[in-house]
């Protein structure tokens, strides 16, 4: 507050969730490098979360086809590059 006293809860939450400063918040994992070698659902999802928290994620895929999740559609049938993550 202006008088130097404690902030009210509403002032604190308004400052915490200020949309104009959302990209100014520090990333918790900035400066950490992660080597991602997984191929199933939980591994790539975890690497995605780590990347969103600021980690540099290096993904290594299996040759020749790459990550097996590229071939799985929402109906669990296999088609190359057909999963939701690869639709434009």
Question: According to the model, what pLDDT value does residue 86 have?
Answer: 53
- The answer to whether residue 1 sits within a structural domain is no
- The answer to whether residue 8 sits within a structural domain is no
Question: According to the model, what pLDDT value does residue 66 have?
Answer: 75
- The answer to whether residue 50 sits within a structural domain is yes
Range of the domain at 82: 25-86
Overall number of domains in the chain: 1
Spatial CA neighbour of 85 closest among 44, 36, 32: 44
Predicted confidence (pLDDT) per residue in 12-65, tens digit: 888 777 777 766 667 788 889 999 988 777 888 888 889 888 889 998 888 887
pLDDT higher at 73 or 45 = 45
**CB burial string 21-54: b at 16+ within 10 A, e below:** eeeeeeeebeeeeeebebeeeeebeebeebbeee
Confidence of residue 8 (pLDDT cuts 50, 70, 90): confident
* Structural tokens at position 26: 């520090």
- The answer to whether residue 13 sits within a structural domain is no
**Phi first, then psi: what are they for 59, rounded to 5°?**
-95, 130
CB atoms within 10 A of CB 65: 11
């Amino acid at each position: 507050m202006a008088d130097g006293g404690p902030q009210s809860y509403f002032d604190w939450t308004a400052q915490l969730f200020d949309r104009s400063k959302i990209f100014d918040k520090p990333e918790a994992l900035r400066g950490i490098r992660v080597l991602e070698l997984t191929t199933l659902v939980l591994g790539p999802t975890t690497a995605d979360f780590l990347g969103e928290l600021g980690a540099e994620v290096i993904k290594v895929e299996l040759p020749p086809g790459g990550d097996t999740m590229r071939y799985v559609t929402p109906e669990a049938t296999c088609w190359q590059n057909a999963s939701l993550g690869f639709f434009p």
